[in-house]
Structure 1
């Protein structure tokens, strides 16, 4: 029986759901072409599961208009049974997975971060502009702030922090850390990996880690408020807000985020996600043409 092969493609990992099975593959390599990577994942998933599918859907981290060539991906998959491909930015699939048809905003913060708000008639995306130009409050942003704090202490420009000990475990000679990091093909993931240590040390009372954590929560809340302001049609309109992704595992960050949202001008309720990004990728297959998110989806059929 034909089924949907759904992909939730992030920088940390790629999840695939097909034939009742969930598979995990290495994350997107942002230094390589996207479509060949996605096609390889599709073929590998079909080979491993033996599933027959006619529809491939994908929510992709950092998807650009140039990369969103569903017809090109369909051709690269080159499977006689696959007749349809649908692509969307992962902000779209994160929203569908977390809130479904509810009006509101979803902020998805892992290595990167993107916020998407959906109102009665409008959709607003905030951030998701990558580690060089945006992703405020993301795992990378937190890790970058942590390393900045380490080098400030090293120079005498900033206060002492337990983060220095974490950095020394990786780079015993801190004067060479920046050289090693700049030459590391995995540097984005390396930097983002420090976010977990920031969360741990914040919970243990490190003041610098706590400051970074609170600022990250504020940045993420600011993105949500900005997105909601762009889709609101009535001051009394109620919105659901859902916060997903690894950075929200930090209790202090989540508390800072919730505090900012509660103090905002909006009638909002923080809610738990109904599902995950992979569930949103599955939902792409049934997204109607009149849904507010439909213009943000690229499809090809044969």
Structure 2
């Protein structure tokens, strides 16, 4: 990829019909799925902030039709606990499949499910989550894997590469042809998560209070952030700080403000975004070194809200990798539906990637 080239986006062959949780029963209108011979797939993208679930049909020529989608709370059992994670996942399943209560029969089951759940990179977490889902008897076959790993499945036919995710937090994850897996980051907002949304938001807040003291440069971040919170003075951030400390998502929601100010040329915001991209570049490089790709040449999948919505940040990351002599062979934004459909396609064609045997947990309700 030449320097400054536009990031190629994967072609999308599906149509999305979105249903809110309150109207999820309308999924019952998709009754034609019950008797359809097409493959019905449940796709779940469960992170530490939210869970997105999709009910799709996999038709001929890799055509994917998203019949319905739904959102629920976070599903990472490591960060929110098992009770909360299972409750949010069950809520998503009930909304999409019409299951009224635990233990009752579903009005609609699926042929295959792909569960991309944060935290399942740990074997003990993956095994427990897999056994729990199998007991629900929703899918004839399913696989369970870390959410970041799913993105690698969407960038090529070989199942190798590195995924970089920058959303509320940040992580890089990769796998090579021998099945060696490496990760960098993903430690959580308190310990690390540099370059993620929370990190950007906190850097912006620090810039605002330092400017108020005269220790830092004035910037457009101050009026923008005060307006966001409905405040008049910087001092009013102090009583708000305890709430911000207990709810990281509120801090991460400042990231779009930082990116907007940066795109408008604000030097303070530009500096924050530059440092964020440098952190993300180092995460990819560190992962690449562990997998034998010191000189680049690997497929790179990008995901997470920051990278999805900020062309500026994407280009800074790609240019940074080139400047460090570690350019990817290809780079693309990958959405979970595209990646999951590809993973299912391989499974249905009995072309499972053998080097992924330790990445995902495969199961059947009758195990």
TM-score range normalised by the length of the shorter chain: 0.7 to 0.9
User: Per-residue CA shift, 1:81-120, capped at 9, x if unaligned?
Assistant: 5344432111111211234525332212122222122222
Counterpart of 1:147?
A: 205
Deviation of residue 289 (structure 1)? 6.0
Deviation of residue 222 (structure 1)? 0.8
Alpha carbons of structure 1 residues 223 and 276: separation in structure 2 relative to 1, 3 Å: same
Task: Give structure 1 stretches of 5+ with no counterpart.
Answer: none
Aligned 8 A contact 2:121 2:145 in 1: no
3-state SS in 2 of match to 1:86: strand
- TM-score, normalised relative to structure 2: 0.72
Would you say how many aligned residue pairs link Structure 1 and Structure 2? 297
Which stretch of structure 1 is more off in the superposition, 115-124 or 137-146? 115-124
Deviation of residue 236 (structure 1)? 6.8
3-state SS in 2 of match to 1:130: coil
Counterpart of 1:88?
A: 145
Aligned 8 A contact 2:184 2:286 in 1: yes
Q: State which of 229, 245, 263 in structure 1 corresponds to 2:289.
A: 229
Q: State which of 221, 224, 241 in structure 2 corresponds to 1:163.
A: 221
Q: State which of 166, 175, 182 in structure 2 corresponds to 1:118.
A: 175
- TM-score, normalised relative to structure 1: 0.85
User: Per-residue CA shift, 1:106-147, capped at 9, x if unaligned?
Assistant: 212122222122222122111122211222211111111111
Alpha carbons of structure 1 residues 98 and 232: separation in structure 2 relative to 1, 3 Å: same
Q: State which of 42, 50, 55 in structure 2 corresponds to 1:5.
A: 42
Alpha carbons of structure 1 residues 135 and 220: separation in structure 2 relative to 1, 3 Å: same
Deviation of residue 227 (structure 1)? 0.7
Q: State which of 261, 266, 280 in structure 2 corresponds to 1:201.
A: 261
Aligned 8 A contact 2:42 2:53 in 1: yes
Alpha carbons of structure 1 residues 156 and 293: separation in structure 2 relative to 1, 3 Å: farther
Deviation of residue 203 (structure 1)? 1.2
3-state SS in 1 of match to 2:253: helix
Q: State which of 286, 294, 298 in structure 1 corresponds to 2:357.
A: 294
Aligned 8 A contact 1:73 1:85 in 2: no
Aligned 8 A contact 2:185 2:193 in 1: yes
User: Rg larger in 1 or in 2?
Assistant: 2
Q: Does 1:26 align with 2:72?
A: yes
Q: State which of 296, 305, 319 in structure 2 corresponds to 1:246.
A: 305
1: CA distance, partners of 2:327 / 2:270: 28
Which stretch of structure 1 is more off in the superposition, 263-272 or 213-222? 263-272
Which stretch of structure 1 is more off in the superposition, 100-109 or 280-289? 280-289
Q: Counterparts of 1:276-287 in structure 2 under 5 Å?
A: 276-285=335-344, 286=346
After superposing on structure 2, the runs of 4+ consecutive aligned residues of structure 1 that deviate more than 6 Å are: none
Task: Give structure 2 stretches of 5+ with no counterpart.
Answer: 1-35, 58-66, 100-105
Counterpart of 1:46?
A: 97
Deviation of residue 226 (structure 1)? 0.8
3-state SS in 1 of match to 2:218: coil
Which structure is higher in RCO with an 8 Å CA cutoff and minimum separation 6?
Answer: 1
